Amino acid sequence: MFTGIITDIGTVRSLENRGDLRARIGTHYDMEGVDLGASIACDGVCLTVVDTGPDWFDVDISAETVARTNLGGWAEGQRVNLERALKVGDELGGHIVSGHIDGLAQVVAVTDEGDSTRVTLRAPHDLARFIAPKGSVALNGTSLTVNEVEGCEFGVNFIPHTKQVTTWGDVDAGDAVNLEIDTLARYVARLKEMG
């Protein structure tokens, strides 16, 4: 489990196709405190640490994950949002995030509003019903509040701090973004269907 509060920006150092995709990610984390088998969310995708070094870790990314996320588009040198798994007693600053991506959202527009940036995205039709104004959504692993919703399109706002401590300062129209809908929204919708 994660909170959607990004704690490091990693860098993809290498990619190797071994049947699964092996990625080496450079990090500022103290890797002596990270066990093999630990979970780290990389752009919102929960991945398992399979090897470590002093300032890097390796993960294996299955063909299924490559097909359903934007990780297949990773390139060496790319910056990646990172979050270590939640521990009992940690502050829950965002919302409960599983690291299981529901689909890809497409960035439709990026507009500066003062020092902040408003980003409009288009969700897949089957996921749009789970996105509500003032609800939570995880985009590339970042816990965000939805500002407005119109059909399949929704908007979020990035303050300068968020743009500095995540990869959201690099966003462009046309980008594919890992989307995880809020777990509570999923259960509310399911209860409504059953009621």
Residues of the chain with pLDDT under 70: 195
- Residue 138's pLDDT is 97
- Residue 136's pLDDT is 94
Same domain as 111, residue 171: yes
Same domain as 147, residue 120: yes
Question: Per the domain annotation, does 90 fall within a domain?
Answer: no
- Residue 19's pLDDT is 86
Task: Report the CATH number at residue 172.
Answer: 2.40.30.20
> pLDDT tens across 111-130, in order?
999 999 999 999 999 999 99
Q: How many folded domains does the chain comprise?
A: 2
**String of DSSP letters for the chain:** -B-S---EEEEEEEEEEESEEEEEEE-SS-GGG--TT-EEEETTEEEEEEEEETTEEEEEE-HHHHHHSSGGG--TT-EEEEEEPP-TT----S--B-S---EEEEEEEEEEETTEEEEEEE--HHHHTT--TT-EEEETTEEEE--EEETTEEEEEE-HHHHHHSGGGG--TT-EEEEEE-HHHHHHHHHHHH-
Same domain as 179, residue 114: yes
Which residue range forms the structural domain that includes residue 41? 8-84
